[in-house]
Each structure stands twice: as C-alpha cells, then as structure tokens.
Chains A and B, each alone.
Chain A
Amino acid sequence: MSRWSLARYSLWQARDFALDRGIAILLIGFLWGYAFISPLRSQMAYQITNRASPVWIFTLQISSAIVSLAVLLAVNGIVSTDRKTGYYKFLFSKPVNPILYYTQLFFVYMAGVVACMLVLSRILQTILPTFSIVNYLLYTALIYVAMGGIGFFLSVATRYDWLSLAAVWLGARVLRTTFGDGNDWRSKAVQLLPPVHKLDEVANSLIGTGTANGNDVLWLLGYGTLFFVLGLVILRKGSLAD
C-alpha cells in the first residue's frame, strides 16, 4: 500500500474523531467552562483582566482540567476498541501497517483535540480578553503528548484503557503527594511515575505567560513519547488479536 493511501484515510479518521469525540469534547468543555467561569465573571467583572485575581487563577485551573479531560476522551479506546470489537480484522487484512495506521490516528486525534481547544479558547477569549489562545494550544499539544502517550500505551496493553489512564493519573498524583518528598526507596520509586506534579506549574506558566520550565516540559514530553513508542513496540511484537 502506498503511504498516500493511508494519508488519504486520515480524512476518515478525522471525520470519526469529529463525530465520535470532538462534539462531546466541545459540549463538555463548553458546559464545564460556562458553569464555572461565567458566574465568577458576572460577580468579579472588575478583576477580569487582573492576572493575580481569583477569576484568572480559577480560569487557568478549569481550562487546564478541560484539556486533560479532552485528552482522556480522545485517546480512550484508540487501539483497544478495534481489538475488542474485532474491527481490526478487515482494517488490517488490507495492505496496511498497523504501526503507521495507529501513529497517524494518534496525530489526527491530536489535531482534533487542538482544534476543539481552539474553538473553546476563542469563546473564552470573548469574556477574558487577556486569555492567550496560542499559549493554550501549546499547552494542549504538550498535554496531549504527555498524557495521550501514556493513554496510547495503556490502550495497546489493556482492554480498560480509560479506567487505567484515570487510575494511573490519579494514582501518580496521590503517591507523589504522599511519598514524593522523602529519601527512602518509596520516594525514589514514585519518581518513575508519570510527572503529573509538574502539570499545575506548567499549566500556570505556559497558559498564563507562554513560558515554562524547560526541564518540566522535557519531562512531560519525554515521558509521553517514551510510552507512545513503547505502545508501538508492543503493537509490533505482540498480537493484533486478543
């Protein structure tokens, strides 16, 4: 099969994203953002442009949470659904390399998530003029690679990837908070967990100012990329069928 054929298929993948996930991400993101930010805006309108105000800080927290949720929705079942339902049978009896197929799918979904966040941030900007769309999209791309890479790996390795990713994400936060500061083996072990503790800091600095600590960004990108590649290796070495 020519790479061009697979590239042409990306239009179908984008369509699937829009109908199956994009609309849901937009609706949930909009309703969530509206429910939390709109009341604050009406009560504290005079502080709306002040970056030190509670409105601004709260907006950063909500908007970064929406990105995490969007990534979770996007990568949920990205590989495991095809395996659970048996869709892989007809897809990969065609001259298609599954590694290339799912790599393309991962990046098509990334483009989809970024497009959804573009729409949501454009809406947000109408009530918070100082909100930077570019910074928000950079943050979205970073979190997609960091969190989506792990989600992709879990989707290859397990059947319950949504649950696994949520468990890994929340578990890493709890364990890092509990054991992260010590010097014993447990605190060393939790350093291997996803660097979720860096998210808040990166969200505040990247969405707020457009800058972020290089080490933090590299940690997040590296961790996500490593797991994405691990997922591809398992896909290559393992079986497509369950």
Chain B
Amino acid sequence: MAEVSAANDDDYGPAAVVIEFKNVGKIYKSLLGNSVKAVEEFSLTVVDGETLGIAGPNGAGKTTLIAMMLGYLRPTAGTVEINGLPARQYVERNGIGYLSELIAINPKWRAESALVRYATLAGIPYSEIPSRVNYVVDLLGLAEHRDKKVKALSKGNLQRLGLAQALLRDEQILVLDEPTHGLDPVWTQRFRDIVEELRRPDRTILIASHNLDELQRLADRVAIIDRGRLQRLVSTGYEHAAPAATRFRVTLASGYDLMRTVFPGAEDAGRGEYDVTVQSIQELNTALADLIGRGALVASVMPQRSVLEQQFREAVGESQ
C-alpha cells in the first residue's frame, strides 16, 4: 500500500533532468478558424530513474503531451526537451520505447516480421535481431502468435505486440500510453511485473493511464492533468506522508474488542472489518502497532479509496 501526497516538482531537483516541458502550450486550429486549447502553460521535469504517471480524464491532453514529447506535434508555445535536445532531435538520434494508446501496425504484416522491421529501424545489428525478437516474443508470450498476421491478433495480443516493439531495444526512455488497455487480468499483472523489472536508475518511464490503481503501484509521481493544465503533482512514495485524512478498512482475525480502544472512531462493517479514518500514514502505523501490541491479530489493511484517487477527484473537480 503506497502513501500518496502532493509533491513538488523541485523535490526531484538533484537527479539529472531527462525530460523537460517548459511552459508548453498546444492549440489546435481548424480550417474554419476555430481553435481548441489542448495543452496550456504546462511545465514539468522528469528525472533519471523516475517512473512518472500521467493521469487525467478523457480529453485532458495526455496524448497531446506525449505526441509533443515524441516530436510528432509541435507545441504552439514553449519547448519540450529531452536530455537538453529538442524532443524530435533526441528521438531521431536515440529513439524512445513507445507504446501508443491505439496500436497502429500494418494489419498485413505478420507479428514476427513486424518486430524484425522495427528492430531494423531501431538500429539493432542484423546478427542480433533474431535473439532480440525472440526475447520480446517470450517476454510477452507471443510465441504461438508470431506467424499470425497482425489483423488476426486479438486486442490483448495486439497490445502485447505493441509493448514488444517498444521493448526491442534497451531504451533510456519508455513512454507507455494506456499500456494495459485490452489486457486480461493475468497479463495486466504480468505487465506490472515487467515494468517493475524495467525500472533502473538510468531509465525514465512515463505511463499515461486512466487506471489510478495501476499508477499508484507503478509510478513514483503522478501528474494529474485536466483541460490541458497540470492540476497536481502527486508523489506515491512511502516516504511521503499523506496530508489529508484517509480512510482504511482494517480486518481483524481476533481482538475485536480492542478496536475501539485504539481507534475510537472506528465503524464496524461486520465480519471483523472496521473502517477507520487517520490523518497520516504514521498515525495509522502507530495505532496498528498499539493494536497488535495489545494482542489483536490484524488480517489486512486496505485503503478504502486510494489517496491518488482522492487527489484526482479533488484536482479534476477543482478545475471544472
């Protein structure tokens, strides 16, 4: 269970800045002269070794931000830099492991040949392509689908193929847009394990997702955006204490009578379950230690609503 708190962008100052959005704005203009502000005055830095989540409702500007980061779209204001270079220039020199929200691979290609093509473009030496393709095929369980045409793949398998092409090369930067979209629960968990394995001090990972639980598990910080603006930057690390009151459901195996002594405001939800409200993660831990010290057996402690979700609701609610 990760604790979440509002984070400051300056908290991540000492590590090397990898991605930097500086007052970025993007306005889409139609031929008829109508304009839509997709992103507005967006500033954010992402550092080496960090996994940053991007959360926001539909149309918040997540995909536009990612497109500008890959240099597919030019900002109408501000700049996006990666390792000090303009974003597109960086991508053309180094490449980025990218999984887009909608997987767009030519449906006539076969899964394996698609990977070989992308590996060739990624600059993987010719002799290493077969082993690298085999590695991602095994990693993502695509062995039985490697000879199938892309159009014959199910949504989940297509998503895995998309992830496989993003992992072909040992990239410093990974950008995953709705990575578990269409995956079954087994592969959703497998994906989370893969992301955990991919984390390392010199790699930066960006994950855009609607799934706040996923971001809470995987990300160090989560940028909550709405209406094209950064609404909140939330840290998900254990070391950050929650500033706001938070509700947890505590399940006891024994010592039910001790619960109200330690948590005077606890509400009995039946079958040994109690809902408690605490002001911080420290308060929760202190009280649980007291409870266990008095002889109670705690079976589980679950947040009733993830604090990230709470922050998200507040941030998105405030902006509307």
A interacts with B = yes
Stretch at the interface among B120-128, B184-192, B256-264: B120-128
Which residues from chain B contact A183 at a C-beta distance below 8 Å?
A: none
Number of interface residues of B (CB under 8 A): 31
Q: Are A1 and B117 in contact (CB under 8 A)?
A: no
Q: Are B93 and A95 in contact (CB under 8 A)?
A: yes
With A5-B120, A90-B98, A241-B72: A96-B92 Cβ-Cβ less than 8 Å: yes
Which residues from chain B contact A2 at a C-beta distance below 8 Å?
A: 123
**What 0/1 pattern do residues 69 to 110 of B give for CB contact below 8 A with A?**
011111000000000000000011111111010101110100
B67 is an interface residue with CB less than 8 A from chain A: yes
Which residues from chain B contact A107 at a C-beta distance below 8 Å?
A: none
10 new A-B contacts at CB < 8 Å, known A9-B117, A20-B108, A93-B175:
A1-B123, A90-B100, A92-B91, A93-B70, A93-B98, A95-B122, A238-B74, A240-B72, A240-B73, A241-B67
With A1-B95, A1-B122, A241-B73: A12-B104 Cβ-Cβ less than 8 Å: no
Complex CA gap A31/B102 in Å reads 40
**Most chain A CB atoms below 10 A, which of B70, B123, B126, B175:** B123
Q: Are A6 and B72 in contact (CB under 8 A)?
A: no
B118 is an interface residue with CB less than 8 A from chain A: yes
CB distance from A225 to the nearest CB of B (A): 24
Q: Are A12 and B95 in contact (CB under 8 A)?
A: no
Number of interface residues of A (CB under 8 A): 26
Which residue in B92, B166, B175 is a CB contact (below 8 Å) of A97?
Answer: B92
A87 is an interface residue with CB less than 8 A from chain B: yes
B306 is an interface residue with CB less than 8 A from chain A: no
**What 0/1 pattern do residues 1 to 28 of A give for CB contact below 8 A with B?**
1100110110010000001100000000
A89 is an interface residue with CB less than 8 A from chain B: yes
Q: Are B104 and A86 in contact (CB under 8 A)?
A: yes
* 17 CB-based A-B contacts, threshold 8 Å: A1-B93, A19-B108, A20-B108, A86-B104, A87-B105, A89-B70, A90-B162, A91-B118, A94-B121, A94-B122, A96-B95, A238-B74, A239-B73, A240-B73, A241-B67, A241-B72, A241-B73
Which residues from chain B contact A96 at a C-beta distance below 8 Å?
A: 92, 95, 121
Closest 4 CB pairs of A and B: A86-B104, A93-B98, A95-B95, A1-B123
CB under 8 Å from chain A, chain B span 5-64? none
B165 is an interface residue with CB less than 8 A from chain A: yes
User: Measuring CB to CB, which residues of chain B are less than 8 angstroms from any residue of chain A?
Assistant: 67, 70-74, 91-98, 100, 102, 104-106, 108, 117-118, 120-123, 126, 162, 165-166, 175
**Most chain A CB atoms below 10 A, which of B70, B94, B104, B122:** B104
CB distance from B79 to the nearest CB of A (A): 15
Complex CA gap A241/B88 in Å reads 13
Q: Are A93 and B97 in contact (CB under 8 A)?
A: yes
Complex CA gap A6/B126 in Å reads 12
Complex CA gap A86/B120 in Å reads 19
Residue of chain A at shortest CB distance from B104:
A86
Complex CA gap A6/B239 in Å reads 47
CB under 8 Å from chain B, chain A span 187-242? 238-241
Which residues from chain A contact B126 at a C-beta distance below 8 Å?
A: 8
With A5-B121, A96-B121: A89-B95 Cβ-Cβ less than 8 Å: no
Q: Are A86 and B100 in contact (CB under 8 A)?
A: yes
